[in-house]
Structure 1
Amino acid sequence: MAEQVPKSVLFACLGNTCQSPTAEAVFKKMRKWRIDSAATSTYEIGNPPDYRGQSCIEKHGVSMSHAGLVTREDFAAFDYTLCMHESNQRDLNRESNQVKNGKAKIEPLGSCDPQKQLIIEDRFYGNDSDFKKKKKKTVHQQCVRCCKAFLEKTY
């Protein structure tokens, strides 16, 4: 019997310092897929994920990584590309239209949110309390809700 290849997902946001690395870390804890995150711009390339997001995620027993820029090869390598904001989706769609063998389905992660919050909030310019577990509306909580709903939708 042939071994089943795991599905794959790439999470993308503008700088890959806050939202997409958080979604990547949350998803890694939920499912054994091929998972990565990347930026749609070069603004933060080479910088680590936001220290506040890292601190929040580490409390959940997962580590964050900081990938580079979304590449054209990513559109052929991943089954799904889940973005955090509609501007990310526009950038990704524009880039994917230039790829002949692209297979990645591009959609906002927030489109899966049972609370109908389409945009995964960008807390980069917020304060430390925006990353605390006790807050009702954190990047982490949004990502958990949306990733769970995404998995339910894909199975």
Structure 2
Amino acid sequence: MMVRKTMVAAWLKTAKAGETIVYARATFLPVRSEVAAMLREAAEHGHVVLYRERRMHGPGEENFRYVAKRTAKPLPGQVYMVREVPPLPAAKPQDKRFNGTAALQRDIAPQVRGLMAEGVRSGSAIARALGLYSAQPVYSLMRKMAA
């Protein structure tokens, strides 16, 4: 089994550093495989790291999984946009001991927006990143932002 060349090309353009794709499951790669040649060239330029894993159990005749792992080096002509995330406050919001959550939500709103822009979608994960005792203010803020 080998994936199509178009699928690997699309993966190369959209994959983030550390993401992997299994591009073949076989005992050996075909000599004239366009997919393997394209990935070898990408590996020579430092865009991916290629390796194979031995298959231990299960049905089928293939013995290896051929895997490509994306590195952080951008493809030629590809530009990564880096978002500026506001720095965390020097003191944690709960150290101010607010009685109401509205003031706390105003304090954490820029950091929550920044973490959500980076792809963090879990309210409890955002609360842990901000060092909050409870995730409730983050959930309330996320509901307000969604409305």
TM-score norm. by structure 1 comes to 0.20
Comparing both chains, which one has the higher relative contact order based on Cα–Cα distances under 8 Å and sequence gaps of 6 or more?
A: 1
TM-score norm. by structure 2 comes to 0.21
Which one has a bigger Cα radius of gyration? 2
